[in-house]
Amino acid sequence: MSDWVLAIEGTPAGHHAALALALLAAFLHAIFGSLQKGRIDPWLSRGAIDAALVVLALPIALFLVPLPRGSEWLLVLGALPIHFTYKIGMALAFSRGAFTVVYPVVRGMGPVFTVIGAWIVFGEVFTLIQWMGIGVLLAGIFGLAVYNLRTITVARDTLVPALWLAAGTGALVAVYTTYDAFAIRGTPDPFTFLAWFFVICSLDMPVIAALRWRNMPATARPDPRKLFRLGFFGALIAFGSFGSVMLATRLDKVGEAAVLRETSTVFAAVIGWLVLRETVGPRRIALMTLIALGAVIVELGG
């Protein structure tokens, strides 16, 4: 697998593979977000997912991929504080706002900052049409934020903080996307970085979740069996979601992969409506679709 990735890196085949991986990441990340925001406390759900990630990824890291060498360890460790801050922001936002309110703003803000980061770090340049796509995407984001401010009545007192947290977390998405792209490109075998990333960057939230569980009233604690199932299933989704987009940024342009991943807002709207039973409505669906349309224009304009 590693040989195949290295062989198509920077080629037309790599571009097409990166496109498919970014879209796969979009679909899986919408599922991942809904699992964290579901009916179980978002801190506990993320802790369960990360605990399962450590258990599943550790044997792969130890026995199936080359061990990191020298500065490669620094690249893996450098991802820890960035992803930890992102996870805290995501949990805080989810605990204050509905999934269909918070998720599109987080995922929509991410590519805007990532495009700037990719220009600074990797020298990537967007065409005029691609910048028009970014404009369409931004129109969807801010249109959605204004619509939510005007119409949401549930948890109205926490809506504005939820939106601010979502916007800030979106900036963190750009930071981790740019850094992860830099790190996976700096590791000879991309699966070495991926495996150890999932081990090391998943050690934090289980500790927080355990402390939260301990301080919860017994009546507020979810069924441990449900938490275990959520953690295992969420870990499998996380492998596909985060792994796919990281490989996409290795194979092709970081900015385009980041923007395409944000088509996840469309999947999020459907999941929020069908699974979480949140009221979405035609206007909000249209604005979420506008975000995804902006991502498509960016890809076609490249």
Per-residue pLDDT for the chain (302 aa), expressed as one digit of tens each?
677 777 788 788 888 888 888 888 888 888 887 777 667 888 899 999 999 999 999 999 999 999 999 899 999 999 999 999 998 988 888 777 776 677 777 877 777 777 777 888 888 778 888 888 888 888 887 787 777 777 766 556 667 787 888 888 888 888 888 899 999 999 999 999 999 999 999 999 999 999 999 988 888 888 889 999 999 999 999 999 888 988 888 888 887 777 777 777 777 777 766 666 666 677 877 887 887 788 778 777 76
Measured CA distances, 197 to 53, 57, 213, 249, 260 (Å): 10, 9, 26, 15, 23
Taking Cα atoms as reference points, which of 246, 123, 260, 124 lies closest to residue 189? 246
3-state secondary structure of 282: helix
Neighbours of 72 (CB within 10 A): 19
CA pair distance 107, 5, nearest whole angstrom: 26
Measured CA distances, 77 to 137, 180, 228 (Å): 33, 11, 27
Give the H or E element holding residue 156.
none
CA pair distance 212, 224, nearest whole angstrom: 14
Taking Cα atoms as reference points, which of 302, 193, 171 lies closest to residue 246? 193
Alpha helices in the chain (DSSP H): 2-8, 12-37, 42-63, 72-94, 99-122, 128-151, 159-185, 190-200, 204-215, 224-251, 254-261, 264-274, 281-300
The answer to pTM > 0.85 is no
Q: How far does Cα 37 stand from its chain's mean position?
A: 13
CA pair distance 225, 205, nearest whole angstrom: 19
Alpha helices in 186-223 (DSSP H): 190-200, 204-215
CA pair distance 173, 112, nearest whole angstrom: 10
**Main-chain dihedrals φ then ψ at residue 41, nearest 5 degrees:** -45, 130
Sole residue written with tokens 């750009």: 174
Q: How is residue 213 written in tokens? A: 């569980």
CA pair distance 148, 222, nearest whole angstrom: 30
Instruction: Find out whether 118 and 99 touch, Cβ atoms under 8 Å.
Output: no
CA pair distance 250, 253, nearest whole angstrom: 8
Q: Given this model, what pLDDT does residue 98 score? A: 73
Q: Given this model, what pLDDT does residue 48 score? A: 94
Measured CA distances, 175 to 45, 81, 96, 294 (Å): 24, 11, 23, 21
Taking Cα atoms as reference points, which of 132, 86, 80, 83 lies closest to residue 106? 86
